[in-house]
Amino acid sequence: MQLQPTASHFINGAYVEDTAGAPIEIIYPATGEVIGTVHAATPAIVDQALESAKVGQKVWAAMTGRERGRIMSRAAAMIMERNHELSVLETYDTGKPYQETIAVDATSGADALEYFGGLAGSLTGEHIPLGEDWVYTVREPLGVCVGIGAWNYPTQIACWKGAPALACGNAMVFKPSETTPMCALKVAEILHEAGVPAGVYNVIQGMGEVGAALVNDTRVDKVSLTGSVSTGKKVYAAAASHMKHVTMELGGKSPLIIFDDADVENAVGGAILGNFYSSGQVCSNGTRVFVQKGIKEKFLARLAERLDTAVIGDPLDEATSFGPMVSKRQMDIVLGYMAKGQEEGARLVYGGKRLERDGFYLEPTVFADVTDDMTIAREEIFGPVMSVLDFDTEEEVIARANDTEYGLSAGVFTSDLSRGHRVIGQLEAGSCFINSYNDAPVEAPFGGVKNSGVGRENSKEAINHYSQVKSVYVRMGDVEAPY
C-alpha cells in the first residue's frame, strides 16, 4: 500500500518538493507499514513559505470579508463532498477508525470554514462619539500566522487554526506533526481549488526544528500551537522574545465527576467518549473519573459490559469502533503507564495489554481504586487508560479535581442540575460539560486554563486571537497645544 503525497510541501498555491530535507516516513498505524515519505523543510523551503505568505496576505486582506467568506464556504462544501476520501486519508495518517473519521474530522474542519467564512463579512469596528470628535476602531489582521499541529486530529487542527486566521485576513504557514503529514496538504489543496489566493495557506513538513524556525522568524506575527505543555512552554517563550501573539492548546488531565444520583448509562457513555474515543488520544479527555462511592460498583460493572462490545480491528472496516495508537512511540509510552499503574497499586479491572496483531493496538484499559498521588492520576497519558477514583462529598471532590497543573476540561454527571452548575462553577477548567463529555461544536469556545493553555479556538472568541484593533481618533476642531 502506497499513499505518497504529490509532494512534501504546499507553498504559494502549488506542491513543492525539496529532497534535500531529512526524509520522514509515513507509517500506517494499523499495520506498521511505511506508506509514503515526505521531506522536512530545508531553510530554503521555510523561507519560500514565509515569503509567499507575506505576499499572499496582502492580496487576501485587500479583499472584502464577504469575498473571503464566500471562498471559505466553498471550501467547506468541497470538504463535505470529499468527506469519504479525506476520512480514509485521516485514517491512514492517524489509524483512527473510519467510523470516527467519517463523522468527526473533515466534517469539523468544514464546520470551522463555514462558520468563520460566515463571520468574515461582519468583522467590523466601533464608533465612539466624543462630543464633536470621535474615535472609530478597525479590526485588522495580524499578518502571517504560524500553525503547529499535534498528530491526533490533523485535518481538524489544520482547519481550526486556518479558518479564523483566514476569516480575519491573515495568511498561514502550517506545520503538521511529523507523525501525520498528509491531511493538512489536502486542506491546502482544497482551499486553493476553492479560490484562496496563492500564498495564503501554506503547509510545510518537519520536526520540532522547523516549528522552532518558524516561531523565531521575524516575518511571523502569531503562533498557534496544539501540542504538549513542554513544547508549549518552549514555543511561548520563543514567541515572547519577539512579542508575537500566541494561542496555546495544550494537554490536560481532566476530571470527570460522577455523583450517586447520575444516570448510570449516560455517565458510562460519557466516560467511554472521554477516555476511549480515538484510542484515548484526545487532549480534553476526562481521564480522572471520580465516582461517588454509592454508584461505583454499578458504574464499573456496566463500563466493563459496554467495553466488551467495542469492535477492535481494521480501522478501515466501518464496523470497527476502536483502532490502534498513532505510533509505536506513543504505544510504548502508554504501555509504560499501564505498567506503572499496576506497580503503584491501582486495581486493573479491564484490559492492560498490547494486542497480539500487527500495528500499534492496545486494549481499552481501566484502573479502579486509583489515588490522587499515583502517576496515572497525575500525568497525561494520551492513550486508552481510564483511572477511576472514589469520593464521598462534593466539597472533597472539587478540591481533588482542581489539584492539578492542568485545566483544559471538566465534566459533571448528576441528575441535580443545581449541583451540576454549582460544581462546574468551582472547577478550574476552560471547556466544561454537564451530563455530557467532549462535545466541541465550532460555535463554542475551546481552550484551557492553568498549564493547559492560553487563548481560545473556535467561536467568536477566536476572532480576538487572530486580529487586532486599531483605534483612530478624529478631531473635528483645532488642536490646542500648550506652546
Which H or E run contains 431?
strand 431-434
Measured from each CB, the residue nearest to ligand NDP is 211
Q: Cell for 227?
A: 501540542
Beta carbons of 177 and 150 less than 8 angstroms apart: yes
CB of 184 to ligand NDP, least distance (A): 10
Beta bridge partners of 313: none
Q: Which is nearer to ligand NDP, 151 or 360 (CB)?
A: 151
* Cα atoms in the 13 Å half-sphere on the side-chain side of 441: 4
The residues assigned a catalytic role are 249
Contacts of 329 (CB under 8 A, 6+ apart): none
Rg (CA), the chain: 23
Query: Which lies closer to ligand NDP via its Cβ, residue 246 or residue 250?
Result: 250
* Beta strands 201-203; 171-175: pairing state: parallel
34 or 128, CB closer to ligand NDP? 34
Question: How many other C-beta atoms are found inside a 10 Å radius of the C-beta of residue 97?
Answer: 29
Strands 222-226 and 144-148: parallel
Nearer to ligand NDP, 161 or 192 (CB): 161
DSSP-derived letter for residue 414 is -
Residue 407 is placed in which grid cell? 485545566
Q: Name the 3-class secondary structure at 406.
A: coil
Contact 29, 94 (CB under 8 A): yes
Judged by the rule CB under 6 A, the positions of this chain that interact with ligand NDP are 148-152, 175, 177-178, 207-208, 211-212, 215, 225-228, 231, 234-235, 249-251, 283, 380, 382, 408, 453
> Phi/psi of residue 19, each to 5°?
-75, 0
Least distance between ligand NDP and beta carbon 401 (Å): 18
Distance CA 330, CA 324 (A): 10
Q: Indicate the residue among 91 and 152 with the shorter CB distance to ligand NDP.
A: 152
Q: Is 192 exposed, middle or buried (0-12, 13-18, 19+ CB in 10 A)?
A: buried
Nearer residue to ligand NDP within complex by CB, 61 or 454:
454
Least distance from ligand NDP to the Cβ atom of residue 124, Å: 29
- For the bound state, the minimum distance from the C-beta of residue 334 to ligand NDP, rounded and expressed in Å, comes to 12
Residue 328's identity, in one-letter code, is K
Shortest distance, CB of residue 161 to ligand NDP, whole angstroms? 10
Q: Is the dihedral of CA 255, 267, 362, 343 positive or negative?
A: positive
CB of 409 to ligand NDP, least distance (A): 9
Cβ 279 to ligand NDP, closest distance in Å? 13
Of 206 and 313, the one with the shorter C-beta distance to ligand NDP is 206
Are the C-beta atoms of 329 and 337 separated by less than 8 Å?
A: no
